[in-house]
């Protein structure tokens, strides 16, 4: 079942993110890794900035989360995490499909360049990587992240974004 996360679920969202983010350990640049990967204060900040989390519930337990954030003229998919033990069972696909139905705006996703599984996951769902020049521009325009994270990230966009902004 996919449903909006309640504000009372802050702790479980935090747990899922930091459990799933273990996948990044040893993969993303060492200077970007920290434990926990996302501090409570950062998660709180993201929510205050308008990230709306949706959750996938199984047997009464939240097992995956994915956030949507409307920024200017686009929607960003933020913080997509499925519990490590529940990975590769189709939960991320269901969440992504559901979230795509929640917005009419072009969708953008940013992730670590080294997270090849995440890039493949989004590519398998029709997202395409934008050029390096474009991702640098987009990350600065729509995200609030450090310069070092811009360097080590990629951006993927859906067909609607390409139709609107890369039609030439
Ligand atoms: C990326 C992530 C959110 C995807 O969620 P997920 O639930 O594992 O995704 P799915 O199971 O739908 O799909 C993952 C793969 O499992 C495969 N799969 C789906 N259902 C399956 C099943 N029943 N049995 C076996 N494999 C299956 C899919 O083919 C898919 O392969 P692909 O990635 O090459 O397309 C999750 O793996 C995760 O949290 N990873 C760590 C954190 C991360 O990288 N987050 C992304 C940040 S932007």
In the prediction, which pLDDT does 166 show?
A: 87
* 92 CB within 6 A, ligand 1: yes
Q: Is the pLDDT of residue 100 over 60?
A: yes
Q: ∠ CA 114-120-124 to the nearest 5 degrees?
A: 165
pTM of the model: 0.96
The model's pLDDT over 87-96, given as tens digits with 9 standing for 90+, comes to 999 999 999 9
User: How confident is the model over 94-114, as a mean pLDDT?
Assistant: 98
pLDDT class for 145, splitting at 50, 70, 90? confident
Q: Is the pLDDT of residue 38 over 60?
A: yes
pLDDT class for 81, splitting at 50, 70, 90? very high
In the prediction, which pLDDT does 168 show?
A: 56
Q: Is the pLDDT of residue 146 over 90?
A: no
Q: Mention every residue, 6+ apart, whose C-beta is less than 8 A from residue 5.
A: 13, 53, 54, 55, 62, 65
- What string of DSSP letters covers 77-100? EEEEEE-GGGTTSSHHHHHHHHHH
Q: Mention every residue, 6+ apart, whose C-beta is less than 8 A from residue 98.
A: 2, 54
Q: Do residues 84 and 64 make contact, with C-beta atoms less than 8 angstroms apart? A: no
DSSP lists the bridge partners of residue 77 as 68, 109
Q: Do residues 56 and 1 make contact, with C-beta atoms less than 8 angstroms apart? A: yes
Q: Is the pLDDT of residue 109 over 70?
A: yes
Q: ∠ CA 6-117-145 to the nearest 5 degrees?
A: 60
* 112 CB within 6 A, ligand 1: no
Q: Looking at ligand 1, which residue's alpha carbon is closest to its atom 18?
A: 88
Would you give the DSSP letter of residue 60? Answer: T
Segment among 42-46, 128-132, 148-152, 160-164 with least mean pLDDT: 148-152
Q: Which residue has the higher pLDDT, 124 or 148?
A: 124
* 89 CB within 6 A, ligand 1: yes
Return the CA Rg of the chain: 15
């Amino acid at each position: 079942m996919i449903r909006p996360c309640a504000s009372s679920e802050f702790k479980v969202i935090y747990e899922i993110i930091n459990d799933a983010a273990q996948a990044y350990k040893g993969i993303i640049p060492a200077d970007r890794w920290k434990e926990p990967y996302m501090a409570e204060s950062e998660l709180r900040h993201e929510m205050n900035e308008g990230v709306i989390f949706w959750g996938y519930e199984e047997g009464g337990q939240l097992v995956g989360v994915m956030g949507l954030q409307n920024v200017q003229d686009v929607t960003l998919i933020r913080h997509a995490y499925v519990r490590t033990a529940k990975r590769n069972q189709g939960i991320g696909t269901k969440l992504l499909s559901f979230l795509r139905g929640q917005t009419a705006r072009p969708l953008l996703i940013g992730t670590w360049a080294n997270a090849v599984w995440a890039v493949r996951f989004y590519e398998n769902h029709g997202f395409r990587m934008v050029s390096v020049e474009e991702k640098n521009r987009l990350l600065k325009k729509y995200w609030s992240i450090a310069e070092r994270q811009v360097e080590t990230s990629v951006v993927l966009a859906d067909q609607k974004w390409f139709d609107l902004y890369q039609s030439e």
